Amino acid sequence: MITDVTYLPESPAHDVEIEHINEEAFGPGRFVRAAYKIREGGPHERALSFVALHDAAVIASVRMTRVAAGKGTGLLLGPLAVRPAFKNLGIGRKLVRLAVQASEQAAMPLILLVGDEPYYGPLGFRRVPRGHLTMPRPVDPARILAIEIVPGSLSDFQGDVQHADRFTISGTATACI
Ligand SMILES: CC(C)(COP(=O)(O)OP(=O)(O)OC[C@H]1O[C@@H](n2cnc3c(N)ncnc32)[C@H](O)[C@@H]1OP(=O)(O)O)[C@@H](O)C(=O)NCCC(=O)NCCS
């Protein structure tokens, strides 16, 4: 672990640097990912999203977005990205832990993500049963992971995953929380 890294909740002042970090990490392919499609539905939660700073520059970012599925609500974690020069220093894991902790404090029921189980498993994320959730674009089911902050909350969180602002009841767009 390096010590001169500061972790802060995200602010609008970080937006440009975060965009560069995500471009560097994921390239133009990020725009066709299922998680990106969900995030297009509305804003992310700045208070639950975090950046890592080194020498006043943003070197890593994790964003959290409110989502809904069936009768359930939760958060979608991502993108998570660390600048190449700062990889493998524990920064990604620290950002995930901060986001999970903030989500717990905000009494969110669960956190969903699309990512690598070997990385997120040790951080508490478990594979969502195949067919339980439907993403707006094709996703390897083995990469749909979740952590239940409220035990059992995944049972209500079922079906099509959308941005919470896009959640529809009887076909009428409405904010659900
Ligand atoms: C994946 C990423 C966020 C990890 O952040 P990081 O700060 O470099 O990682 P950490 O220091 O927290 O953890 C490092 C450990 O995770 C492992 N790891 C990194 N990426 C991994 C992956 N995709 N799958 C499994 N393990 C992974 C490393 O091998 C290392 O293992 P070790 O502790 O046994 O040596 C970073 O590499 C990154 O930005 N990658 C490009 C974007 C990306 O893939 N984001 C994740 C989207 S799901």
Domain of 51: which CATH number? 3.40.630.30
Written in H, E and C, the secondary structure of 128-149 is CCCCCEECCCCCCHHHEEEEEC
In a domain, 141, yes or no: yes
pLDDT over 90, % of the chain:
89
Distance 81 CA to ligand 1 centre (A): 9
In a domain, 82, yes or no: yes
Place of tokens 């066709």: 32
Give the tens place of pLDDT for each residue, 99-130: 999 999 999 999 999 999 999 999 999 999 99
In a domain, 131, yes or no: yes
Number of domains the chain contains: 1
Mean pLDDT of 153-174: 78
- The best mutation among 2, 87, 135 to test binding of ligand 1, ranked by most ligand atoms within 8 Å of the C-beta, falls on 87
* Ligand 1 atom nearest to CA at 79: 47
Backbone angles phi, psi at 88, to 5 degrees: 60, 30
Look at residue 42 and tell me whether its pLDDT is greater than 90: yes
pLDDT for 177 equals: 35
The CA distance from 77 to 115, in Å, is 9
Of residues 82 and 173, more confidently modeled: 82
In a domain, 115, yes or no: yes
pLDDT over 70, % of the chain:
93
The CA distance from 145 to 115, in Å, is 7
In a domain, 1, yes or no: no
Domain that holds residue 96: 6-173
pTM: 0.93
91 pocket-lining for ligand 1 (C-beta < 6 Å): yes
Look at residue 96 and tell me whether its pLDDT is greater than 80: yes
Look at residue 145 and tell me whether its pLDDT is greater than 80: yes
pLDDT for 3 equals: 72
